[in-house]
């Protein structure tokens, strides 16, 4: 118990301030690469919409109701720093016709990956903690910190989503009137990035 408490205090000290220090750097990079980030998301959405439209033509998928950008913990643990994108019809998660792609948002995750690499070096070079900090400790740090950086990714994605969907493929996709774009964890908490109905009301 005492050893575990020491390890947790060590980890807390090492990870304290990561996000606060990285936010200004991420904001700067987002500002510089705003167009590039928007285009990369737009390309993924366009490809996904083409796939969904083909499935609709083949009678395998109903009108699109949701586009979800999903943060997967299993991907993070496997060092796949991507968001999964899925288009579902009104059956949502019960829609068995898979329509999926991936989007990389490096300007957020690169900072966290650098922090995690540095933490491993610090642990390895510590005579006191090298044998006390185990892989499961580092995995938990990765998940906990990824959850924090994920909040920044969601905020930035919301800023570009309306521009990213201005494509013929998105426009031509058969959608329900209240089509929603969500971002969050798989089958868990999500935020609303965009709702088609809100645009109709605004007209």
Confidence band (pLDDT; 50, 70, 90) for 122?
very high
Each residue's pLDDT tens digit, 91-110: 999 999 999 999 999 999 99
Structure tokens at 98: 């898979």
Query: Average pLDDT, stretch 161-185?
Result: 97
| Distances in whole angstroms, Cα of residue 30 to Cα of each of 26, 33, 68, 83 | 6, 5, 22, 17
Confidence band (pLDDT; 50, 70, 90) for 200?
very low
Question: What is the pTM for the complete model shown?
Answer: 0.89
Who contacts 66 (Cβ-Cβ below 8 Å, separation ≥6)? Answer: 86, 87, 88, 92, 179, 180, 181, 182
DSSP states of 85-151: EEEEETTGGG--S--EEEEE-HHHHHHHHHHHHHHHHHHHT-TTTTTTS-HHHHHHHHHHHHHHHHH
d(CA 82, CA 106): 8
């Amino acid at each position: 118990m005492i050893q575990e408490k020491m390890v947790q205090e060590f980890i807390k000290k090492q990870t304290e301030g990561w996000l606060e220090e990285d936010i200004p750097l991420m904001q700067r990079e987002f500002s510089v690469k705003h167009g590039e980030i928007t285009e990369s998301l737009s390309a993924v959405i366009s490809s996904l919409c083409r796939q969904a439209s083909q499935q609709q033509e083949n009678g395998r998928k109903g009108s699109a109701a949701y586009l979800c950008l999903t943060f997967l913990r299993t991907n993070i643990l496997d060092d796949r720093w991507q968001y999964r994108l899925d288009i579902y019809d009104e059956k949502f998660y019960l829609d068995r016709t898979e329509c999926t792609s991936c989007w990389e948002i490096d300007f957020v995750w690169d900072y966290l990956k650098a922090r995690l690499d540095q933490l491993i070096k610090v642990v390895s070079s510590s005579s006191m903690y090298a044998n006390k900090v185990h892989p499961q400790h580092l995995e938990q740090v990765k998940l906990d910190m990824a959850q924090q950086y994920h909040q920044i990714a969601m905020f930035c994605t919301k800023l570009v989503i309306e521009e990213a969907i201005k494509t013929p493929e998105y426009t031509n996709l058969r959608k329900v009137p209240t089509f929603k774009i969500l971002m969050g964890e798989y089958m868990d908490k999500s935020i609303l990035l965009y709702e088609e109905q809100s645009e109709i009301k605004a007209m």
